Amino acid sequence: MAKAQEPEKASFFTRLKQIGMVFSFTAKRDKLFVPLVVIVVLVPLIAVGVAIALGLSWIWAPLGVLLALLGTVIVLNLRSQKAMMAEAEGQPGAAASIIENMRGDWRVSPAIVSTTQFDMVHLVIGRPGVILIGEGNPGRVKGLVAQERRRLVKVIGNAELRDYMVGNEEGQIPLPKLRNLLIRLPRTITAKDVNALDKRLTALSARPQMPRGALPKNMKPPKGQFKAMRGR
């Protein structure tokens, strides 16, 4: 189970490089991004410039720069998220990837069950409880979710168990709205309960299971071995 970890502190130049990459990524995929950045930079600078020309002290000049930077950061944050959502939509495992990058204590196990047709169910543990997120063909995923609900309901105690299907059809959650949906869910368990559930379900997943069907010939004990053991 993927446990939320504290991100390593990046240096100032690493941060700048990351911002530059996000800026370039967004500009290539969002035609409105660059015009919006130009607007949020020019408007405060022009406003402060006009105010200074009308007699306001030059001490207000840094305010225009700060407002321009703040506006750029806000536009970059909003438009980059939209661009990333559009890029991820339709990609197998996109829902799990989005949740893994959310802020907060979200424990994600991608594709705990899946099919060869890229139908999959992700397991999420957080303050709202236990959540199953399905991706793929609704008919096939419905069966996978039902199977996991039966398995989990026996071990999660009183924690809430919810399930959602990601998609654009009626009754499904569009990928861009998944993050907001999870954030708005009521917090029904404590951080301590999240840790306990994480350990319990990790142990459940790690428990070895006997293969179904007859044992392969090379794994069968030699003839008469059981009889010899009974005679000891």
| Residue 13 buriedness (CB in 10 A; 0-12 / 13-18 / 19+) | exposed
Q: Which residues in the chain land under pLDDT 50?
A: 3-7, 207-221, 225-231
Backbone φ and ψ for 118, nearest 5 degrees, come out as 65, 25
The DSSP call for residue 210 is: P
CA 102 to the chain's CA centroid: 6
What are the sequence ranges of the domains in the chain?
12-88, 94-206
232/230 Cα distance (integer angstroms)? 6
pLDDT in tens, 2-37: 544 444 565 777 877 878 888 888 888 888 889 999
Rg (CA), the chain: 26
Quote the pLDDT of residue 70.
Answer: 92
Q: How far apart are CA 202 and CA 189, in angstroms?
A: 18
The pLDDT score that the predictor gives to residue 29 is 80
Q: Over the stretch 94-110, which tens digit does the pLDDT of each residue have?
A: 888 888 888 888 999 99
CB-based contacts of 119: which residues, under 8 Å, 6+ apart? 134, 135, 136, 137, 140, 141, 144
User: Which SS3 state, helix, strand or coil, does residue 135 take?
Assistant: strand
